[in-house]
Amino acid sequence: MSSALAKALSVMEFLAYQPIGSAVSDIAKSLDMPISGVHRLLKELEGLGYVRQVRGMGDYELTIKLASLGLAFLGQTGIGNISQPILDELAQQTRELVRLSLADNGDLVWVGVSQGSTSALRYQPGQDQGKVVHLASSAGGQAWLAGMSDEEAISLVMRQGLVKDNAPGVSAPVTVADLLSVLKTVRERGYAVNHDSYLDGMAAIAMVVRNPDSGEPIGAVSVAGPSVRVTPEVMDTYVEPLRRAAIALGDASRASLYFSKRE
């Protein structure tokens, strides 16, 4: 990281996943930056209203300012308004967790969610919202990658990293050959299915969302839940509702400024 701006953004990105705050020394160690430099950046960000110091002279945490900017941006694009009813309907039909991820500059980002499960045994997605999807191990990532050429898919995966840094599932692809085999199956089947791939004990099914005019893959919609409950037989019943949701989301993208400006 060569510029002060890049360093400041890296500090804010780190704090985004530290909801109770983090000590200056821990931030510096995680980002491989000098403590003095991190402290100076935090003071500047504090002056701008993006971070605050908690517990006296203790940890630093993000304020709500950055989150409000993100919510304001999503609100202006219309993504939430057009996608939420579709996600809610799919969650009601499947009674499991439904998520929408959208393509952004070569990444896939989780931007929408609806929880259909009323059971105590369910996956809580809060920590993943707004996070870049790990492409190779997630059902949504696999569905999106399968919508492009092998060359483009592998390029995006290798830029991100083939193996997830934190606790990859035991069934996640670990070689390029593994991933290409998965993508071949996804294309033949028309949707991605995995068990214990993104996370041990989790099963998911996903379909690519395409621009209705160009056919370009613009995101993915998925249904996920505990693998003890979301069995292959159960996921078979999700295919048609998921397909309808993917088509509806693609059609609805015409109404979003986020996609129309990319035409």
HSE, side-chain direction, 13 A CA sphere, residue 5? 0
Tens digits of pLDDT across the chain (263 residues): 458 888 888 988 888 878 788 899 999 999 999 999 989 998 998 889 888 888 666 788 888 777 767 656 655 555 666 788 999 999 999 999 999 999 988 899 988 889 887 765 556 655 566 788 999 999 999 999 999 999 999 999 999 999 998 878 999 999 999 999 999 999 999 999 999 999 999 999 999 999 888 899 999 999 999 999 999 999 999 999 999 999 999 988 876 656 554 44
DSSP string, 229-259: TS-HHHHHTTHHHHHHHHHHHHHHGGG-HHH
Domain map (residue ranges) of the chain: 4-63, 77-260
| Yes or no: domain 4-63 corresponds to CATH 3.40.50.720 | no
Burial (0-12, 13-18, 19+ Cβ within 10 Å), 39: middle
For residue 256, the model assigns a pLDDT of 63
φ/ψ (deg, to 5) at 158 = -70, -30
For residue 263, the model assigns a pLDDT of 47
Buried b (16+ CB within 10 A) or exposed e, 68-101: eeeeeebeebbbeebbeebbebbbebbbbbbbbb
Residue where the block lists tokens 């200056």? 24
| Eight-class DSSP state of 17 | T
| Yes or no: domain 77-260 corresponds to CATH 3.30.450.40 | yes
Specify whether the backbone of 201 is left (phi greater than 0), alpha (psi in -120 to 50) or beta. left
